[in-house]
Copies of this chain bind each other. A is one copy, B any other.
Amino acid sequence: MRDAYHEELDSISDGLIEMARLVGSAMGRATTALLDADLALAESVIAADDKVNSLHHDLENRAIDLLARQQPVATDLRIVVTSLRMSADLERCGDLARHVAKVARLRFPDTAVPNDLHPIVLEMGQLAQRLVAKAGLVIATKDVDKALELEQDDDAIDALHRELFSHLLDDRWQHGIETAVDVTLVGRYYERFADHAVSVAKRVVFLVTGEHIGDFLATNEPAALGE
């Protein structure tokens, strides 16, 4: 029974790693679609989110079956419950990539993001993609040092988010309100995506070390709003 248990646990872990891979790819492609006003790419990101949702539901059901059949306790129980939470985090990352793609689709054939903000948004997109790739690696390797790197990457995203807001709130902003609204929402999507990736890594750290590094998602705020 214990072997079956660990096989099933490995397969849940593999599912999480696959979800991290899919949502990282989705956010990378969503960012390209946004900056290039690529409608077909945006549509493909939107459609592909179904796969993430279905992995999430599948994984939830398998985790609950595992709890029912194997009735793990102590650390084993925490691993399964934590997997449920990581799956929810990664599913939400998929939603946020889809939100970015939908902004691209809504403004097509225009680009939602003005040219002078392309470098910032590109960097936010790349960092977001790297963050979730690292989160996937952390799930696979349980590498605590790698997990701690995510906090620095997240600080870099927050800095970019502040920079985005400083452009928005600059008196010389000349792109109008609609674009300001789009950029505000897109910035928020990247920030939340990064929060969820960091949350995944922190959950692994907690499992490995037993140390809780604060309730990250509960204390994070939009960079421009006074944090």
Contacts and interface: CB of A to CB of B under 8 A. Distances in A.
A78 interface: yes
Given A81-B84, A181-B184, A218-B95, A102 B226 contact: yes
A77 B64 CA distance: 8
Contacts of A103: 225
Interface residues of A, number: 43
Contacts of A181: 165, 168-169, 180-181, 184, 224
A74 interface: yes
A103 B222 CA distance: 10
Nearest to A169: B178
B64 A81 contact: yes
A108 to B, nearest CB: 10
Number of copies of this chain that the complex holds: 2
Interface stretch (A1-9, A65-73, A120-128, A149-157): A65-73
B225 A106 contact: yes
B84 A77 contact: no
A53 B168 contact: no
Given A74-B68, A177-B173, A225-B106, A215 B57 contact: yes
Contacts of A29: none
Contacts of A213: none
A193 to B, nearest CB: 14
B185 A102 contact: no
Interface string A186-227: 001000000000000000000000000001011001101110
A105 interface: yes
Contact of A180 (B95, B180, B222): B180
